[in-house]
Amino acid sequence: MAEATTRVRTHVTVDRTLLEEAKAHGVSLSATLDEALRDKLRTARHEAYRRENAEAYAAANRWVEDYGLPFEDDRTF
């Protein structure tokens, strides 16, 4: 079952031509904005995570450079 969300009204400014074409094609502005915001936020969260954990990534990469991959000698592929 989908999680219930609270919807709020807001004001946005869009290109008139885009709005007219969206209406002509039955494109839901609310659904489109929701989808675009989810995509942008997913990207922003991913980038923030990478920045916040850059030191850990670097340390892990240094360890592999120094010692190699764990169990590398046991790999059969």
- Give the pLDDT confidence of 2-29 residue by residue, as tens digits: 566 899 999 999 999 999 999 999 999 9
Spell out the long-range contacts of 19-24 with Cβ–Cβ below 8 A and sequence spacing 24 or more.
Answer: none
* Confidence check: pLDDT of 1 > 90: no
Q: Which of 27, 29, 23 is nearest to 11 (CA)?
A: 29
Q: Go through 7-16 and write b for each residue having 16 or more CB atoms within 10 A of its CB, e for each that does not.
A: eeeeeeeeee
Averaged pLDDT of the chain? 93
- Give the pLDDT confidence of 23-59 residue by residue, as tens digits: 999 999 999 999 999 999 999 999 999 999 999 999 9
